[in-house]
Every structure is written in C-alpha cells, then in structure tokens.
Amino acid sequence: MLRSSNPILSKRDAFTPAAPQYGQAQYGQGGFQPYPPQGYQQPGSPQDPTRQTSAPEGRMTLDDVVTKTAVTMGLLVATAAVAWALMPPALTFPSMILSALVGFVVVLLVSFRRVVSPPLVLIYAAIEGVFIGMISKVFEAMYPGIVVQAVFATFVAAGVTLAAYKFFNIRVTPKFQKIVFIATAAFAIAMLLNFVLSLMGVNLGFRSGVTGPVSLLAVGISLLGVVLAVLNLVLDFDYIEKGIQMGAPARESWRGAFGLTVTMVWLYIEILRILSYLRR
C-alpha cells in the first residue's frame, strides 16, 4: 500500500489499486473454481439474476489530476477576483480572517475523510479564494504590482520544482519524507499559534505587518516557508506519480489536485510576504 508523508495526501486507503473488472484475475487468484459449480446461482454470483452490477471504477491518470487541479485553481482564482472586486472595504479584514479559519477547518475535513469528497475540495477552493483575494488586495494597495510578481514567481517556482523532479530523477526516500513532514507540521503549528496570539494582541515576531519595520526573524520564517512549500511540492509530485503507476482509483485524482492546490496557495502567500519585505 502506498503511503505519503504529505499531510494532505496521507490517507490509509488512498492510491491503492482500483478494483479489477469482472473476469480479470488478481495476483494469487488462479482459475480454480470452488464448489458449488459455476452454473449454481448462488446469491451475489454473476449467474444470480437478482445481483446488482455496477460499472467498475476507472483508474487515475495524469490527465485526471491536471484537469481537476485546473478546476480547483480556476475556481480559487475566480472567487478571489470576485471577492477583490465586490467585497466592501469595511469587510476586508474580517472576511480575510474568517476565510482563513474556515479554510483551515475545511482542509482538516478533507484530509481526514476516508474517501475524498469533491464537493469539499471545491468548497475549500472557493473559501480559500476569498482569503487570497483579500490578502492580495491589501498587499497590492501598499505595494502596487506585487500581486503579479508573486503569481509569476509562484508558478516559476512550481515549474522549476517539477522540472528538477523529472529531469534530475529525484528520489523521495522515507527519511526525506519524515523530515519534511515533521518540519511542515511544526511550521504549521507555530504559524497557527502565532495567528491566534496576534488576534489577542500578542506579537511573537514571526510575521511582520503589511507596513512598518521588518525583522530578520520574519524574513527567515518566510524563507523557511518557501523552502518547505517547495519540498512539499516534491512530495506531491512523487505521490501522484506513484499513485498513477499503482493504478489508484480515479476519484483519488481529486485528492492529488487538492494537495497541489493547498501547497500552491501556501507558496504564493510566502512569496507575497517576501516580496513585500524586499519592497521595504
């Protein structure tokens, strides 16, 4: 069974081979016909006229993952554009905070479900789109042109990571997975605590504001975030590639798209912050 250290993709039954179609023998199952004989219409057998049949589920392909990633990213961008254009200025910060918290909860719901839920994945994309639209609008007001730069840098970083993964034949080892997982979990917990404390007026210095002085700690935290996001992209690529090779069920392409979307959003936010630091 294939496992991943990516928190978004590490489901117990994710990316296991799809069920073979009727008539296909599985490994270890030969042509031996047990008693009763084939003609006996036992309940649930292919000869039972009352047996309900269903079409076998297909297998995940690269086209599936690309298409569904385009759907989730497209919905996210569309929602961000609508929120940017229509959200009243008085609701900018409240909607940004609320969408960040709700988006985090939806990530947990999708991650811990035994079977991936496409509606939840799309709900996440829509909610996260509101957050991206609001935070981008705030940074763009302070630093004109920064959003275009951040979007461009995000896709360049993702493209370079994919190219390096393919052309340099990067191998994801268990040790590499464990290190990235522990570092990512620690980073996420630290940022969540910092976010909650900042709402109560406590500043740990992990993040600098949109304006004002920039601390070396804040710069280091954002650089670490970019590195971890890129390493998680490597885990995403590796897990999806292995899932396709193992014949994962087609529905798992939604999980792959979800993992890529979450990582891309994270990468964009960290790059946006670093660019704002450089502008100062």
- In tens, the pLDDT along 123-158 reads 999 999 999 999 999 999 999 999 999 999 999 999
Greater pLDDT, 10 or 177: 177
In a domain, 225, yes or no: yes
SS3 155: helix
At 245 the pLDDT is 86
Which structural domain range is residue 100 located in? 62-279
| Statement: residue 29 has pLDDT above 70 | no
pTM over 0.85: no
Contacts of 190 (CB under 8 A, 6+ apart): 206
- The predicted pLDDT at position 1 comes to 43
Higher per-residue pLDDT: 243 or 130: 130
Q: What is the pLDDT at residue 20?
A: 42
Residue 112 lies in a domain: yes
User: Which token pair is 60?
Assistant: 């995940």
pLDDT at 54: 46
Residue 124 lies in a domain: yes
3-state secondary structure of 158: helix
Mean pLDDT value across residues 155-168: 91
Domain count along the chain: 1
Q: Is residue 15 assigned to a domain?
A: no
Banded model confidence at residue 27, pLDDT cuts 50, 70, 90: very low
C-alpha 194: how far from its chain's center?
Answer: 22
Burial label for 3, CB within 10 Å (0-12, 13-18, 19+), is middle
Q: What is the mean pLDDT of residues 26-32?
A: 38
Tokens 């079409």 correspond to what residue?
55
pLDDT for position 9: 56
Q: Is residue 41 part of a domain?
A: no
Cβ 125 vs Cβ 261: under 8 Å: yes
Rg (CA), the chain: 23
- Is 12 inside any structural domain? no
Res. 210: pLDDT tops 80: no
Environment class of residue 68 by beta-carbon count within 10 Å: exposed (0-12), middle (13-18) or buried (19+)? buried
Look up residue 224 and give its two tokens.
Answer: 């670490």
Residue 18 forms part of a structural domain: no
